[in-house]
Homo-oligomer: A and B are copies of this chain.
Amino acid sequence: MKALIYQGPSKNSLSEHAKPEIIEPTDAIVKMTKTTICGTDLHILKGDVATCKPGRILGHEGVGIVETIGPAVSIFKPGDHVLISCVSACGRCEYCRRQMFSHCTTGGWILGNTIDGTQAEFVRIPYADNSLYPIPDGADEDALVMLSDILPTGFECGVLNGKITPGSTVAIVGSGPIGLAALLTAQFFSPGEIIMIDLDDNRLEVAKRFGATATINSRDGKAAEAVMKLTGNRGVDTAIEAVGIPTTFVLCGEIIAAGGTIANIGVHGGKVDLHLEKLWDRNIFITTRLVDTVSTPMLLKILQAKKIDPTRLITHHFKLADILQAYETFAHAADTRALKVIIDA
């Protein structure tokens, strides 16, 4: 079969690869119909993800059709249309029992990382009963691809951890795909204000269309002042970090109101400064989280109720045969204005 294979730093290839087979009784083989590329895939390509070795098929998102199942799979059968979760969950270990699927002792984020992933014609899904979701009749498959990773990530790590409440004031630092996913899902809780902060005017423009009540271009280094002005010098109840660099984390600490929550989504490569000399007595909360995809059933219901249109995040479509071009487009988002790209089988 055709598959996108990581060949080491800065080198991906679209190559022939053996079709995956059932290994464990809880496995399913899924024929992919649609997948996408994640910012994390670009990190892998840079050589930043030590767990992912050359020769690995990338990808941890997508929808498809069950082809075969192991003897212990009971919920799905061949022919079922399924949504693939980016996180594999055994459903039995201490962490799965606490709904922390991200820390499953034998699962977690392994797809397209320590085992072969979804940017291929077929994929093996471990713990299929706990890691696949039935696709509701008539659902838009493009929309569903957004439920593999980006929407639950924005929602769980940003919105739920950020404890957004009706009428509250929210700032989202970073208006890339993840920040925009947080913006879309934040609106489930009817906050009063959502301030989006980014360096890219185009992305801020998109944020406005997606529901931001104010936008700030932080290139002048005065984003904190701007937020304090917008909030009557009170700060925001929730600050969501959706970039992953020291400056943006520090900014969150400068704009958080007493009693507020900083929800970190960003993947950080180094330590950050935490200004406890200013924050120790501010009664704040800081959270970190790798997505657990525990909210997937909830997101599926919201999608079905048409309370959200995740296809707004999709800017480009490619065929699997053109996936290298899709990577190019996605990697140069500032120029291509790419948010999420769909790869059709």
Contacts and interface: CB of A to CB of B under 8 A. Distances in A.
Given A91-B91, A249-B276, A258-B100, A189 B192 contact: no
A74 B92 contact: yes
Contact of A96 (B91, B249, B307): B91
A302 B167 contact: yes
Contact of A276 (B99, B213, B264, B307): B264
A188 B276 CA distance: 28
B305 A103 contact: no
A75 interface: yes
Interface stretch (A15-23, A279-287, A325-333): A279-287
A100 B298 contact: no
A304 B166 CA distance: 12
Contacts of A97: 99, 294, 297
Interface string A93-105: 1111111101100
A272 B274 CA distance: 5
A271 interface: yes
A322 B109 CA distance: 53
Interface residues of A, number: 73
Interface in A278-324: 279-290, 292, 294, 297-302, 304-305, 307
A78 interface: no
Contact of A25 (B72, B285, B305, B307): B72
Contacts of A270: 276-277
A153 to B, nearest CB: 11
Nearest to A299: B167
A217 interface: no
A71 interface: yes
A29 to B, nearest CB: 17
B130 A91 contact: yes
Nearest to A167: B301
A168 interface: yes
Contacts of A284: 287-288
Contacts of A299: 167
A290 B281 contact: yes
A267 to B, nearest CB: 6
Nearest to A267: B280
A275 interface: yes
Contacts of A288: 276, 279-284
A154 B91 CA distance: 26
Interface string A245-262: 000010000000011000
Given A99-B99, A190-B307, 11 more contacts: A25-B71, A74-B90, A91-B96, A94-B297, A103-B283, A168-B301, A190-B305, A192-B305, A269-B277, A271-B276, A271-B277
